Structure 1
Amino acid sequence: MALQGSPRNTPLLANQRILWITALMALANVQYGFDAAVIASFQAMEGFLEIFGYPLPAPKKGYEIATTTQQLITSFLNVGTIVGVLFTGPFSRYFGRRPGIWAGSLLGFAGFGVQLGARSVAGLCVGRALVGASNAFFITFANSYLAESAPAHLRSVCSGVLGVTTSVGGLLGTVVPYVTKGVPGRLCYQIGLACLFVFPTAMSVGALFIPESPRWLLVRGHPEKAERSLALLRGHSSTHTQFREELTEMVHGINEEKALASSSPALVDMFRGTDLRRSLLCIGTVTSRAASGIWVFISYGTYFYKQAGIHDPFAMSMYNLSAAIVGAVAAVLCSHFLFGRRTMILFATAAAVLSMMAAAIGGTAAPGSDAAAKNFVAFSVIYNVLYGSFAGSVTWPISAEVVSSRLRVLTLSVATAVDYVLAWLTAFCSPYFINPAALNWGVKYCWLWAGSNALAFLFFWFLLPEMKGRSLEEIDEMFEKRVRTKYFSTYECDCTRVATQDEAKPAALHV
């Protein structure tokens, strides 16, 4: 097994090439976090509200944003993502992971340009939908690429970085509007929108210098190209023997996967035989983000703090995100050195239950009071640090590694679509709960999320196996042999032993 202590567990710094690639792919989530944060911040900016809001009746001064407008601006991002993921599976089948990054960049450029020029809610919604489609390509292909290219013992670090960079993007997307909120006119929010062009530009250029995913190349029947790709990814981080064993294990795994594949469409295969279990785990893991209530903070964080009575909601969002980044870095280190995926996500989900309950209790006991506002602030920080960091560092690797190479992008696409349907419902319904002109629940809204997090905890407790340190081929073998959840961490796999034996034989592929 490729577990702790395996010769393949090369030092972190010896894998500098894959670490640089990880940093490049992580820009996908920097864009995602930045975009969500700037849009949330705009809803409390005068220059934005003058165009997309309505003036308050006398004697009040200033502007407010309508509930319907909030719903449209936020939910159209999710609609675009849902539509976008419908195309990621067919696109990947023929064009691979790197072209997926370029396609996401083109969609992003179009969406940012439309948003910059929009002077109506309709135009802004078109831009939001295009940005959502861009996010769909970035999220799916960046996560798939890292899962398929990183060494088994570094997969949690590489994929976990995606969780860190979401918070980094969110912090940057809060700082920029904080600095520009006093700029008169449309520039106060257009500056933040213009900054978004940086991320797809960097990813598009960087993708020119990285190899295609070796596992995708094997699935498509290009073993020589796969070998060259893996050699470029590993560089000098592994010995010739380690490289040969890893390559042979990949070849055996992909060949067995092809042999087991049916003639049915891939979408049907997702829900047949052992792939049904894997698809449900992937979908459950991805949608646990929506069940956690984190979309409320992403979409309405600044507005939520304002309604809770926070004096400076922009500054509060920055403090919160800064704490989340520190927590996310600590979580990635914990996932690499200390804990497994299962332990991390159970801890994070339990923390989310308790944080939401504590915030809701304060809002129920003293609604609208300063004490309730301070209580909400305290537990929102705890929630973002513990849930956002610890769950964010493991949901990315879990969702990508739990499914087979042949069905990875398709399953991630379906899971992301379901997640964003739920996110869209959250974005669409949340204003009715938190807006003073509607139900005006305020912090009491957290009761709902305490319950959904409790259901997610039970799902992970009974169904999620431990996959830390396992190669993707070992995970394939355990699912094919229907290994029970509690035995995953100790099961002895045959595929690594076979690869080691085959390495001593004349090789069918040449380095």
Structure 2
Amino acid sequence: MESEKVMESDKVMASHVEHPHDEYPVTSKTLTTDAEENSRLEHQLSPREAIKAYPMAVFWCLTVSTCVIMEGFDQILMGSLFAYPTFQRKYGTFVGVTASTRSGYQLSAPWQAGLNNGSTVGAFFGTLINGYLVNKFGHRLVLLASLVILSGCIFITFFSPNVVVLLIGQILSGLPWGVFATAAPAYASECLPMSLRIYLTSYTNMCFLLGQLIAAGVLRGLQSRTDEWGFRIPFALQWIWPCFLIPLIYFAPASPWHEVRKGRLDKAEQSLRRLQRQSADIDVKKTLAMIVYTNDLEEQLSVGTSYWDCLKGFELRRTEIACMAFAGQVLSGSNFAYNSSYFYEQIGLPTSTTYSLTLGGLGVAGVATIINWLFITPNFGRRITYLCGMSAMAFVLYLIGILNVWSGTTSVVYTQAVLAILWLFFFDLSVGQLGWSLPAEVGSTRLRQKTICLARNSYYLVNIVAGVLQPYFMNPTAWNLRGYTGFFWGGTATVMVIWAFFRLPETRHRSFEELDMLFARKIPARKFKHTEAGAYDADRKNEAVADSTHV
């Protein structure tokens, strides 16, 4: 009986794919045949061939991901400004001149925590709202509105006369940043073939890194200024991005997956034609058939479209993996090592050296990202990369903590700084990129945007806690632990290693419909790599559908 229902559903959906409008010619006999043929082609498509076949898809995904540069710029900007003499004098209070507070002024730990978390709190709510907005209006319109809103919010931070107004500006700016961080990987995963998804979803991390690199370079160039323009110019630079992104994104094509979910198959086909090269040997109708087939499969597996559906049945497991993979970026110690300027100052390095090391560290992180794209991603799976990267970062953090026993020695101080840079290398070689890619891959297509939003919000929630703790760990007027902080973050990284070993599946070389079947069949994480999905096998499909209805 179930088999008859599936076959009947395939026939109905096939008729829609073949005749979105009367002027479209029939190109296939059945939906399943076309979808399976296109899936087979995607598995055979190498990254170089995919770039040639989807050049405009790559361009538009790069454009949308560029929005994330702004959040990366702000994240390192605020943390680095705490060690900025002119910023300290404007917003801090006088605590006396010491080796670790050479300007004589210092923001208290509560205000540092508040400013660190201001944009994160805003981004949390922006991300949550984005899950609804994208489902209703699509990525393009939501991104355009967010860019316009951000342009207005920058005025508040730029003209802030005191720390309270600065905090308000940070919170409001976080709302659109939350949209950018979750829309970019979702858009990339829906517009690109399988072999390119890992590169363009992880490119979001590169944009995050580029924003931090730009911020570090700007701060290094302005640190000698003794007036307020030393920290106001970095705020003003954030107006550059909306100026060219708004007109570009206005012309971006809609996600074909979004159009299929809305039942607009003709518009979905138009988007696919804009994303693919016309001369490529890829049948747009068959690509559309695969999208419709996957959406239909998830409907049969009882996959809904609300946040609540992310927590039901086998979707709960997918949501857990996405959330933990993203939160792992914080639990690996990013608040300690990525905001290292303040750490460098507290262990006794001069201001100019502090910003030079920060800039150099981010350059090393960029090199690690490229190494990942060239050597790690083509040859190794997501699971082994995540496990090895997290283990290496835990080891480095423990070393930093151990060396703090001899923190008064100049050679030890510089060794700790080098280890912090080494942590950046391991982070962007592994977890830094996979934290963005895995949520975009592991969620079902009907819940992808909401899964990414929940995953990003798990990151924000953990980051808020870390953002409160980190100033107390480092501030000389609070706990003043300096390098001993490495023991705490090394411990959280170790917990993530244990979780990944037992819970993180291998998603490399898996299409969305194959992942649907593997999760529906409840395949253990360590068996994902070698299990045949059977996405187009009628018996396995019916078995998975039957299991999903009894969850």
Return the TM-score normalized by structure 2. 0.85
Please tell me whether residue 54 in structure 1 is matched to residue 96 in structure 2. Answer: no
Q: Which residue of 2 aligns with 1:123?
A: 165
For residue 191 of structure 1, report the CA deviation from its aligned partner: 1.0
Determine which of 27, 50, 60 is the counterpart of 2:66: 27
Determine which of 386, 389, 399 is the counterpart of 1:348: 389
Per-residue CA deviation, residues 393-415 of structure 1 (Å, 9 max, x unaligned), is 22212111101122112222222
Relative distance call for 1:61 and 1:166 in structure 2 (3 A) is closer
Per-residue CA deviation, residues 145-166 of structure 1 (Å, 9 max, x unaligned), is 0011111011111112112222
Q: Which residue of 1 aligns with 2:113?
A: 71
Distance 1:5 1:384 in 2: 33
Please tell me whether residue 174 in structure 1 is matched to residue 216 in structure 2. Answer: yes
Percentage of matched positions with identical amino acids: 22
Per-residue CA deviation, residues 120-170 of structure 1 (Å, 9 max, x unaligned), is 111101111122112110011111100111110111111121122222211
Distance 2:221 2:347 in 1: 23
Per-residue CA deviation, residues 187-243 of structure 1 (Å, 9 max, x unaligned), is 1111111111122333322212221111111111111111111221122474244x4
Determine which of 458, 468, 485 is the counterpart of 2:498: 458
Relative distance call for 1:13 and 1:87 in structure 2 (3 A) is closer
Partner of 1:113: helix, strand, or coil?
helix
Contact 2:124–2:457 (CA<8 Å) still a contact in 1?
yes
For residue 5 of structure 1, report the CA deviation from its aligned partner: 8.9
Determine which of 325, 331, 352 is the counterpart of 1:291: 331
Partner of 2:389: helix, strand, or coil?
helix
Q: Which residue of 1 aligns with 2:341?
A: 302
For residue 56 of structure 1, report the CA deviation from its aligned partner: 4.0
Determine which of 488, 506, 513 is the counterpart of 1:473: 513
Please tell me whether residue 87 in structure 1 is matched to residue 129 in structure 2. Answer: yes
Q: Which residue of 1 aligns with 2:474?
A: 434
Please tell me whether residue 360 in structure 1 is matched to residue 398 in structure 2. Answer: no
For residue 344 of structure 1, report the CA deviation from its aligned partner: 1.3
Structure 1 range deviating more: 201-210 or 278-287: 201-210
Per-residue CA deviation, residues 294-346 of structure 1 (Å, 9 max, x unaligned), is 02334x42111111122311111001111110011111223442111112111
Q: Which residue of 2 aligns with 1:254?
A: 295
Relative distance call for 1:425 and 1:361 in structure 2 (3 A) is same
Q: Which residue of 1 aligns with 2:363?
A: 322
Q: Which residue of 1 aligns with 2:235?
A: 193
Per-residue CA deviation, residues 64-83 of structure 1 (Å, 9 max, x unaligned), is 22222211111111111112
Distance 1:75 1:379 in 2: 26
Relative distance call for 1:7 and 1:415 in structure 2 (3 A) is closer
Partner of 2:510: helix, strand, or coil?
coil
For residue 440 of structure 1, report the CA deviation from its aligned partner: 0.9
Distance 2:275 2:253 in 1: 7
Q: Which residue of 1 aligns with 2:3?
A: none
Q: How many residues align?
A: 494
Return the TM-score normalized by structure 1. 0.91
Distance 1:51 1:371 in 2: 34
Structure 1 range deviating more: 304-313 or 195-204: 195-204
For residue 86 of structure 1, report the CA deviation from its aligned partner: 2.1
After superposition, the CA RMSD in angstroms is 2.2
- Residue type of the partner of 1:399? P
Distance 1:3 1:287 in 2: 34
- Residue type of the partner of 1:445? T
- Residue type of the partner of 2:391? A
Q: Which residue of 2 aligns with 1:234?
A: 276
Distance 1:224 1:8 in 2: 25
Q: Which residue of 2 aligns with 1:420?
A: 460
Please tell me whether residue 370 in structure 1 is matched to residue 410 in structure 2. Answer: yes
- Residue type of the partner of 2:364? A
Structure 1 range deviating more: 489-498 or 126-135: 489-498
Q: Which residue of 1 aligns with 2:532?
A: 492
Contact 2:82–2:107 (CA<8 Å) still a contact in 1?
yes
For residue 372 of structure 1, report the CA deviation from its aligned partner: 3.1
- Residue type of the partner of 1:436? P
Contact 1:101–1:203 (CA<8 Å) still a contact in 2?
no
Partner of 1:440: helix, strand, or coil?
coil
- Residue type of the partner of 2:384? T
Partner of 1:436: helix, strand, or coil?
coil
Distance 1:179 1:251 in 2: 52
Determine which of 42, 46, 49 is the counterpart of 1:11: 49
Partner of 2:66: helix, strand, or coil?
helix
- Residue type of the partner of 2:311? F
For residue 466 of structure 1, report the CA deviation from its aligned partner: 1.2
Distance 1:26 1:78 in 2: 19
Distance 2:212 2:346 in 1: 20
Distance 2:509 2:493 in 1: 27
Q: Which residue of 2 aligns with 1:506?
A: none
Distance 1:458 1:90 in 2: 34
Contact 1:98–1:207 (CA<8 Å) still a contact in 2?
yes
For residue 95 of structure 1, report the CA deviation from its aligned partner: 0.8
- Residue type of the partner of 1:442? R
The structure whose Rg is larger is 2
Please tell me whether residue 386 in structure 1 is matched to residue 462 in structure 2. Answer: no
Q: Which residue of 2 aligns with 1:447?
A: 487
Relative distance call for 1:89 and 1:467 in structure 2 (3 A) is same
Relative distance call for 1:347 and 1:85 in structure 2 (3 A) is same
Partner of 1:221: helix, strand, or coil?
coil
Q: Which residue of 1 aligns with 2:79?
A: 40
In structure 1, the gaps of 5 or more residues are 499-511
Distance 1:3 1:421 in 2: 40
Partner of 1:406: helix, strand, or coil?
helix
Partner of 1:197: helix, strand, or coil?
helix
Contact 2:92–2:108 (CA<8 Å) still a contact in 1?
yes
Q: Which residue of 1 aligns with 2:252?
A: 210
